[in-house]
Amino acid sequence: MHITESDLAARAITARQFAYAPYSGFTVGAALLCKDGTIYTGCNVESAAFAPTVCAERTAFVKAVSEGKRDFAAIAITGGKQGTPGDYCYPCGVCRQVIAEFCSGAFTVLIVRTPTDWQKITLEELLPHRFGPDSLQ
């Protein structure tokens, strides 16, 4: 099955419905496409202590990596207050660093408002001059 960008955007929107955000009310969903066609979704999960809060993007990556996946093609990310489409929701700095751990600069990032309204950028555009595994060699 060929996964389109619209399919990936829709999966991120669906994942967002499961977000647990009682403190900020800001819900986020992500859908991570592996090169083999497998999709791992994630949502943000907040904590009253704030520091243990986990973002949707990191949830999707951790689920995939914990299942042995290491080759990724794209991620779709959507978010906003109280589950309504808002402005484009870019990943936080920590999530950008996690993406950089596993993906090249050409990795596709879809910043999604609706299944038909998104911005397509690369990791290089999102995080230029990144520090990653190659930086340690």
Enumerate residues 6+ apart whose C-beta is below 8 A from 92. 55
Candidate list 46, 57, 67, 101, residue with the active-site label: 57
- Residues 89, 29: contact at Cβ < 8 Å? no
- Residues 42, 33: contact at Cβ < 8 Å? no
- Residues 100, 136: contact at Cβ < 8 Å? no
Rounded Cα distance, 110 and 9, in Å: 7
Is residue 5 flagged as an active site residue?
A: no
Q: Which residues are catalytic?
A: 57
